[in-house]
Structure formats: structure tokens, C-alpha cells
Chain A
Amino acid sequence: DTAVSQTPKYLVTQMGNDKSIKCEQNLGHDTMYWYKQDSKKFLKIMFSYNNKELIINETVPNRFSPKSPDKAHLNLHINSLELGDSAVYFCASSHKPPPGLREQFFGPGTRLTVL
């Protein structure tokens, strides 16, 4: 059973396009996250949702818009894609939102390539 799943696994698209990445978790967690992992392997938090409510919104261009239809799903929509958006995007979930200390469980990642 997959705990945190993401689709698609790979996404190749042209500059200027709009794309979405979907994430679902079946762990019963209340909190979900989006991370971006760049070419140097740094994982950086983008957004965090707790029970469908946005609680963390890092300095991310407003071309990125998360949406949480329910607490098991957190989707990421990206408008007007740019070359610098190329990266691996990871979804994660945890029992508690920060500052609650709980390990986060990560999805398999979506490799986005913008041409």
C-alpha cells in the first residue's frame, strides 16, 4: 500500500505552460507539505496545509498555487512555467503541523522539466 503517492512521476513541458501535480496520502495525517528539491539536492519547503488550511507559505512565486480539497489530498498548480521551475517536487505528510514534532513521510517525487 502506497502511503504518499504523487502523479505524474515525470512531467516535461514547455515554458509558459500551466501544469498540475497531484498528491494523496492514506496515512490519516492532518498535515501535508510541498517541497522542492533542486539540482544540489537541497529540499526546501514551499507550502504546508493542516486540515485543508494553509499554514505555511514560504517565499514562493504566486505562479505556484496549492489546493487541498480534503485533508488527504494536496495538489500543486503552476502557472506560466519557467526554466527555473525545473526540479523534483515532493509531497509529504505528518500527523501534526509544526511546531509539533513528528516525522514527515514523503512521496516518490515528480520530476518537472521545463524546456
Chain B
Amino acid sequence: EDQVTQSPEALRLQEGESSSLNCSYTVSGLRGLFWYRQDPGKGPEFLFTLYSAGEEKEKERLKATLTKKESFLHITAPKPEDSATYLCAVQASAKRVSSGSARQLTFGSGTQLTVLP
């Protein structure tokens, strides 16, 4: 069964203090890894898709990287508006999976990031 573990559960940073969030995964052949941002009382908002080990993607102060076992979301010089819960999700490769449901996204429980001014 696919598993996604995110750490830490919660992270408090001072404005400008760079850090990284971790997403470790176990999947029967990775098709893609997704990062989402979720603000309180709202639905997840798509950030990045990573397809293969070594790939990197950037958006403003965020940079996502991928290895064969984990993904990191690096936050450089964060601002208070970066405060949110960051969710990681994986999708298994279809040819390794027998049931359609397992090709769905498997989410981690998220890292709640608070950036203090």
C-alpha cells in the first residue's frame, strides 16, 4: 500500500528564516509527486508536480526537489503569507497497479507552517 509521511508535523519560523519540509514516500512505482498548499478553511491549492528523481521546480520562495525516496519543499526567506499547511501526495504508476483506485493520489497529513513577522 502506498504511504506518504510528512515531517515535521508543525514548523514555526521567523520571517526570513529558510527551512525545508520533508515528504517521504513508499509507492509501487512513482508516476508523480504533487505539492499542495492548504489555507485554513480552504481547499488545497496546487503548487508543483515532480515526475522523476533529480527534478526540481521553483515558484517564488518555494523550491521542490525529488529523490527516489523523498521530496523536499525548500522555503527561502519565508514571509508571514507563506503560513499554511503544505500537503504532499503521490500517484502510483499504472502498469504496476492492478486496481484503478490505487492510481489515485495518496496524501500525507501535511506540515503546518507558521511564519512569524
Of chain A, the residue at the smallest CB distance from B108 is A42
**A66: interface (CB < 8 Å):** no
CB distance from A91 to the nearest CB of B (A): 8
Number of interface residues of A (CB under 8 A): 24
Chain B residues within 8 Å of A41, by CB: 85, 87, 109-110
Number of interface residues of B (CB under 8 A): 27
* Known contacts A4-B43, A98-B94, A109-B41: A43-B87 contact under CB 8 Å: yes
1/0 per residue A91-107: CB within 8 Å of B? 01000001101011111
* Known contacts A98-B91, A99-B94: A106-B44 contact under CB 8 Å: yes
**B22: interface (CB < 8 Å):** no
**A90: interface (CB < 8 Å):** yes
Give the contacting residue for B104; candidates A4, A90, A98; CB below 8 A. Answer: A98
* Known contacts A42-B107, A56-B101, A106-B43: A101-B91 contact under CB 8 Å: yes
Binding site for A on B (CB under 8 A): 31-32, 34, 36, 41-46, 49, 51, 85, 87, 89, 91, 93-94, 100-101, 103-105, 107-110
